[in-house]
Chains A and B, each alone.
Chain A
Amino acid sequence: MKLSYTKSSDALTVKIAGEIDHHTAQSLLASLSALLDTQHPLSIILDFSGVGFMDSSGIAVILNCSRRMKELGGRLEIVSVSSQARRVFSTVGLDKLMRISYGGTYEDNK
């Protein structure tokens, strides 16, 4: 699991590379939390273009991260989601709770 990030005036874009499962979820959450603590972003964009696989362990990480962003008054958005991860997001209904984009177009279902 590799994270890299770029920061603009108000958004922190975090690119995640690797597979998100129970084995990798804990360190992913720790890294994301550390970024929130040090960067204090108004909004965070998770770039999923390098995520080859995600299961429900990833859902728990995203929900946790989104909750923290809400507490800080900011928001979380996920971009460049693969077909596999998209099916997981839609099965659990997360695509109704946050902005998740796939294939370059936003699907804002709020």
Chain B
Amino acid sequence: MKITNEMKLTLLSRSVNESLARTVVAAFAAQLDPTLDELGDLKTAVSEAVTNCIVHAYPNGLGRVLITAKIYDGDIIEIIVRDTGCGIPDVEQARQTLFTTGGAERSGMGFTIMDSFMDSLKVRSTVGKGTTVTMRKRLNARYRSAPR
């Protein structure tokens, strides 16, 4: 697959940046002429991934959240959200619906939402080194569902 465009954004892990992150990715994705539902799906998945870096990755302070978005062949968007925080000891367990280490203010639904709102979700993590979440979605439902 050929990359046709790319952007990078680095943010401090402050919660005020959650809306900035999803808004920037949505603005980048706009060149693919997505439907409103597709944009909503991207914003939601980005919000979940970035919130996880902010809430879970840096329990003792602030760190960096690195967001990369790439467009492949004109209709696939790949979003990579990376932190250099504490890492996840058991990724398979973390991805289970309702699993959370965050207590009552978390729902344990973040990975479930990323999973169902995007076409693919890959989570790589090393304890003490950090976590990388890679998500892909093919856009342009409006053209695919149009009569040929």
Contacts and interface: CB of A to CB of B under 8 A. Distances in A.
Interface string A15-29: 000010111011001
Contacts of B48: 55-56
B90 interface: no
Contacts of A22: 15, 18, 51, 54-55
Interface of A is mostly: helix
Interface in A73-105: 83-84, 87-88, 91-92
B51 A57 contact: yes
A30 B103 CA distance: 16
Contacts of A83: 36-37, 40
Nearest to A84: B40
Interface of B: 15-16, 18-19, 22, 36-37, 40-41, 43-44, 47-48, 51, 54-55, 104-107, 109-110, 112-113, 116-117
A21 B19 contact: yes
Contact of B51 (A21, A59, A84, A88): A21
A19 B113 CA distance: 17
Contact of B15 (A23, A59, A63): A23
B110 to A, nearest CB: 5
